[in-house]
Structure 1
């Protein structure tokens, strides 16, 4: 048996300003999701050692909803899974390139088209409401 930890949550929420003042508009991810084959699951935006895979990434009514598996076969995945299981790390954050945006009156931008590069499990998300949760533990074991 190989252990995986199944997680899900919103990596981005529409209409909420992040700590930099940016707001993601509904539909901003649509073109990117239609053309990208895979989106890496990273820990703290570190591309050197992915920690799992996203099995589903979709825009829903609230934002960018992700579901995936942290793979515990590698050291980084094991450590990430342990931190998530214990509740020490529960943030999600997106790595992206802005395709189209308009300035906001206060500060920041309204992001209307985003090229999504990766979704990371992080300690401090730029959008504080972007959080993950564990999926039912009975479904967190898969056969090798």
Structure 2
């Protein structure tokens, strides 16, 4: 079996108190046909997720460019990803800025297909993927599924505590 990559949506981007930038989205969606003609079935990742729910996050599937980690789970729509970009890692900082600007807004899954059915019905040539082993998730520039997009980008303002303290001081001292 060969490793393949599939691309999907980044839903939201945020920054938590530990300063690891986080976002949510779908690393894979169930039932839709991507531009390579493949469809991923709902049970495809069940076995892989029994082993672990935490996977490395790469940039453009480059195993030498780890930018954080992903926590994965499934729901009715697909393989949900909660991503954590690692602050202090130069490429992760760059990726975060590009995501915030809307220049990077796609994700892609790196997986090995374990079980599939070939479909060649005249309208589509591809695979119905029944089981796959997850290796990694990536933030990518060119995805297999072009419909996947970031919907919201947020970041906690680092000066928020200073602003709050100044406002409270003014309120106390203006009477």
Same fold flag (TM > 0.5) = yes
- Any idea what the Cα deviations from partners look like across 1:2-47, whole Å, max 9, x if unmatched? 6322111011111111111010001100100111363110111111
Structure 2: how far apart are the matches of 1:15 and 1:139?
Answer: 39
Residue 170 of structure 2 corresponds to none
The match for 1:101 among 104, 116, 128 is 116
Equivalent in the alignment of 2:107: 92
Name the residue aligned to 1:39.
55
The RMSD of aligned alpha carbons is 2.1
TM-score norm. by structure 2 comes to 0.73
Match of 1:137 among 131, 138, 155: 155
Give the superposition deviation at 1:135.
Answer: 6.4
Q: Which is higher, the Rg of structure 1 or of structure 2?
A: 2
Report the equivalent of 1:71: 86
**How many Å apart are 1:128 and its aligned residue?**
1.7
Tell me how far apart the structure 2 counterparts of residues 90 and 8 of structure 1 sit (CA, whole Å). 11
Number of equivalences: 139
| Inter-partner Cα distance in structure 2 for 1:21 and 1:13 | 14
Greater Cα shift, 111-120 or 126-135: 126-135
TM-score normalised to the size of structure 1? Answer: 0.87
Answer with 129-138 or 32-41: which moved more: 129-138
| Of 122, 127, 143, the match for 2:145 | 127
Contact 2:54 2:72 (C-alpha < 8 Å) held by counterparts? no
- Contact 1:32 / 1:115 at 8 angstroms: preserved in 2? yes
> Residue 13 of structure 2 corresponds to which residue in structure 1?
none
Q: Deviations for 1:74-118, whole angstroms, at most 9, x for unmatched residues?
A: 111111111111110010100000000001132000000010101
Structure 1 position 139, deviation (Å): 9.8
1:113 corresponds, among 117, 122, 131, to 131
Gaps of 5+ in 2: 1-16, 159-175
Which residue, out of 76, 80, 104, partners 1:61? 76
Q: Distance in 1 between matches of 2:157 and 2:64?
A: 28
Would you identify which runs of 4 or more consecutive aligned residues in structure 1 move more than 6 Å? none
* Structure 1 pair 67–133 and aligned structure 2 pair: CA distance change class (3 A): farther
